[in-house]
Structure 1
């Protein structure tokens, strides 16, 4: 579905890699104003030449207008078509909008040469000598594969790079001279010497990082760079794993490679760009554009800001040592909570029983809810050994008690399993030492005061673990407990939080400044970010005195902190939904989760999570669940499944779910998407076969195969109708299904052949499972239909990128090849293809 075979082929070219949208020979189309060569405008930037130009849903004035563009607006040209009136229309995109504009008002922007620093490694190669890599290279008359081959250069040939050029498809080409001829060779065919184009920038290391001989961790470690060290950076390089590395001088005369993240300040989070966007020097589009970020790029987020126009912007590192601002739309993605029956509203008819109890928290962290039941929201949390008073209790439908207590967040309820009732006849144990007792200072930066108030003179600072003896103890009118102590022969007073282990923990609700006084005019001492835990020492007029993770002490506005971390998984429980077993966690806020599969039957869930509520109740198919704390204090969940079970994981805005199911295809729910349809025929073969027809027939054959194997199948279209790409992914994202398969027929030229399966992992949350699915389907499909195996490839096709399910896009064969066109139209071939994909799905669900 890629070559310009007929004008209608390109109706959904947003699905295609742009560098395959170039025809073998440029074709000129006449418009009322000019003659436009497809090879020069498709996949490039163009400019609007009039004001109030309608952007329409289709290529004609009979289609609805969805937006207007004005003179000077830059757009990307995705496709073209000539309608029944003979008008040439272009499909364009800009600022997240896609639609059709008549060619009269679209002017191509002439490509311009770019600096050699535009290579993927951000390194300048102009003027250097480089060698052709392990394969012979075609030298062409221009900088795309559509230009004529003028010479073939053998492997290992050294060539001087005369200049570099980035074409409309974002490919970097080098201008070279070989045997007296000048031409262009794609940079990908060179074994580039990574020492060219040194930039010699000095920067300070923020995170301790190892220095390696090469730009991956598989190379030997030659040194360790510690925080605070200033190093000279010579160049950047992005390796095959898409990790950004920099070359540094780590000792006199010695160079090595280290991860660029070593120089990045602590970030709130990492986000993957889902819409191509510009980075600006400030948080509005009126500021200078400093970079353009492509889809799939991962950026470190340092701060967020809402400007006067109420637009949300993020501060990001777009290059080593360089920060700028990017609009929040760059990270927007479709995410929908599944359409379950209307959730049951917790009953407010609670029968309370009056009974006074003194409670002590008996678990490390106890959830405190808005009502007496797990169906009520968590409003705050209590820590082990916290003491609380309860005047009432209520029983739930299991006849288990819930105790009502008063907190700083209002009334809350605690389940009987997380508390102990303290005998009121006994003395409540005091957590601070009494007169004559000894102890040690628990806080960093503790101060010894002359008297029992904060306005008295500071006698000296006390280091953490300093030993002391208590001389006296008193509680002042503001409720503070003070201890008079003797520490190393010096007598004075300290507040009790300096000597207690158990003091309250709160979490950052956003990026916020920590000051050295209770005022925004005071000096800045630190910064906390979303979900950063801090320990609260005392409060004063809406400000809180805190100790950070780095043991810095300062003041922050109370409104910047919450009792509950916004980045955690709470309310862990087991549920039965639509007859299937689920593990379910609540997300207090919208944030991204990541997972990996470190070994067979093991799922690892992580993502800067401050806490994960471990589910105690068992579910069939799960052997064990374990929450671990890793470096930086974040939590990781490890789930080990029974060897006969597998899972489908979904990350929604408000919850994370894991469906636990038996292995095998029986009972699995599959969405089959036949590409194109109705007004969009897809690619058209040399003998007139249309892509939309052959993929629909194959989709129906696949449905029959899967249903015969016991699977449940939904077709996005079962007739010749047209669906927008978002409509197709909405079907998946609003479902509780297990996999999504999109069927297409490929197109380029008459000699192109074979089968390809595409997936997406840079944006799709289920990228790891999508890759596994793609490999399984590709292997069994090519065995079944006997086509050339073009392999498994990653792409940013919409139906994969914006899909929340494990998803693939299968190019069955080339409809532009007369032989494969005939096969695609054959019922026998369609059935073989369906059987191959079914076999691939069977093997996927056995893993």
Structure 2
């Protein structure tokens, strides 16, 4: 090759090496491809570079699978569906290695130890395989208990009431050990079975419910259940109508009455049912009156469960409290944008201002993490709350999803552990319950996430996703004063219920 013909080639190679070196120096942690980033949240921003100081140019939705091109610190460079590339925060995705399938660990059919999965999500999909890329073959409701047959990564293969099997996401269930094979669970409240029905019972270690005493004193209704052997319990709320469900594992109903009429300030009646056999689960259903809260405790010997229900006195619960309200996004970051042009940053600021007025009118001091249409760093927002020694931090957001049919309300807490997270969970449940009652949207429930504002706040902190701006009907609602006022009132009332509950407890 003549020298004059080699010059363009040499120039081209030099240019490529220079570009590669520039990328390497800019992003020194960059790694080779071979991974898939699976989006773990309802909506995640795709940015022009690795960091929140880079601009958002696209968004991706829950369960989307994005090829990983490289990494820089906690950020992943990914390719999205239109072929363009950008950066997503690593804490918003789960990484899977391409071309490999996790080795299943057998925990049911082929071994002596049986585990069960108790559904914690409101409505959970059952899929044909272990991953969101597999089709949905059915759904199960919150509180259902399913036999675990095997595990693959974060997914469990479970046995359904129809006898068929499918896969459920591990982050949507609570896994528990059980001593024997599980019968198909009953799916409606107490299941319609008579309490004394012990036929087919295989678990000889289960205790028997001996008595259920319900009393009302000082505005509190106390239900005490005693059993002949130690047991565990779990509890959750159901809405429309309001019910408190308490499942006691390792207890048969014995001769307890099907219904106990109470008619107190907080409870109209208590129902008992044989929810599941082998392992035995007895279910108590408290039919609640508006705004009722509860406290449950198990005795030291685990044979006596006490459930107290009450209507909190919210008046005065705000006085002297310091509350930080954080309107999501702002300034150059509009957040999610609806098909009708509605911007998340405008809705969140309006709702936050309404909340602030309600709280201040009831004696609280309000710190606004963002008071106008300004660019406020996420860490600056929690710095304001921490410096003010706020009692709680409440971030207001509007959700979005590529699936325009999805709608509903969600409240997030930090995915860590400890007393602050426990208090955050209590606050989240109070606010979520009031949002569902007031707005009437789908109850997606309380979820955990590693959002920066939840992770870096020193006090109980929640992030409320009021509704979906990507859903045409919900976008239309959030453009109205009525909806925004109702959302603000519900969030403020939920905060008040939290403080009242903490004071009573």
Confirm whether residue 735 of structure 1 aligns to residue 388 of structure 2.
yes
Match of 1:88 among 85, 101, 114: 85
CA drift of 1:726 comes to 2.1
Q: Aligned-pair distance for 1:751?
A: 2.6
Quick check: 1:797 aligned with 2:451? yes
For the Cα contact (< 8 Å) 1:5–1:685, is it kept in 2?
Answer: no
Q: Take 2:390 and 2:146, find their aligned partners in 1: how far apart are those partners?
A: 53
For residue 362 of structure 1, what is the aligned residue in structure 2? none
Q: 1:720 aligns with which of 356, 373, 378?
A: 373
Judging changes above 3 Å, is the alpha-carbon distance between structure 1 residues 704 and 790 closer, same or farther for their aligned structure 2 residues? same
Alignment counterpart, residue 745 of structure 1, candidates 393, 398, 403: 398
Deviations 1:764-793 (A, max 9, x none): 643343333223323333333333333444
Secondary structure of the residue that 2:349 maps to in structure 1? helix
Give runs of aligned pairs for residues 762-777 of structure 1, distance below 5 A.
762-763=416-417, 765-777=419-431
Shift in alpha-carbon separation, 1:219–1:750, aligned structure 2, 3 A: farther
Is 1:756 aligned to 2:410, yes or no?
A: yes
TM-score of the superposition, structure 2-length normalised?
0.51
Paired residues for 1:152-171 under 5 Å = 164-166=151-153, 171=154
Are 2:495 and 1:841 equivalent residues in the alignment?
yes
**Residue 172 of structure 1: aligned partner:** 155
Shift of 1:819: 0.9
Could you tell me whether the CA contact under 8 Å between 1:670 and 1:714 is conserved in 2? yes
2:135 to 143, 148, 168: 148
For 2:382 and 2:158, the matched residues in 1 are separated by 42
Secondary structure in 2 matching 1:837: helix
Instruction: Tell me the alpha carbon deviations over residues 296-350 of structure 1, each in whole angstroms, 9 at most, x when there is no partner.
Output: xxxxxxxxxxxxxxxxxxxxxxxxxxxxxxxxxxxxxxxxxxxxxxxxxxxxxxx
Indicate the residue corresponding to 1:115 in structure 2: 103
Mapped to 2, the partners of 1:9 and 1:745 lie a distance apart of 23
1:204-248 deviations in whole A, cap 9, x for unaligned? xxxxxxxx969xxx99479xxxxxxxxxxxxxxxx989xxxxxxx
Kept in 1: contact 2:326–2:395 (CA 8 A): yes
* Cα distance change on mapping 1:148 and 1:793 into 2, 3 Å: closer
- Residues 825, 79 of structure 1: alpha-carbon distance in 2 compared, 3 angstrom cutoff: farther
Number of residue pairs the alignment of both structures matches:
334
Q: Does 1:674 align with 2:327?
A: yes
User: Which aligned pairs between 1:361-376 and structure 2 lie closer than 5 A?
Assistant: none
Q: TM-score, normalised by structure 1?
A: 0.32
CA contact (8 A) 1:691 1:745 kept: yes
Structure 2 CA distance, aligned partners of 1:131 and 1:768? 25
Query: Structure 1 residues 792, 182: CA separation in 2 closer, same or farther (over 3 Å shift)?
Result: closer
Greater fraction helix: 2
Q: Which has the higher contact order (CA 8 A, sep 6+)?
A: 2
Paired residues for 1:616-635 under 5 Å: none
Unpaired stretches in structure 1, ≥5 consecutive residues:
14-19, 25-37, 49-54, 56-68, 70-74, 99-106, 118-122, 197-211, 223-238, 242-256, 258-597, 601-643, 647-661
Rg bigger for which structure? 1
Rounded Cα–Cα distance in structure 2 between residues aligned with 1:803 and 1:837: 19
Q: Which residue of 1 aligns with 2:336?
A: 683
- The gaps in structure 2 that reach 5 residues or longer are 1-39, 53-58, 181-203, 207-226, 236-249, 251-293, 297-311
TM-aligned CA distance change 1:807 to 1:826, over 3 Å: same
Superposed displacement of residue 828, structure 1: 2.5
Residues 7 and 842 (structure 1 numbering): CA distance in 2 closer, same or farther, change over 3 Å?
Answer: same
Q: 1:138 to 1:91 in 2, by over 3 A?
A: closer
Alpha-carbon deviation of 1:728? 1.9
Q: 2:473 is matched with which residue?
A: 819
Residue 809 of structure 1 corresponds to which residue in structure 2?
463
Q: Is the 8 A contact 1:23 1:146 kept in 2?
A: no
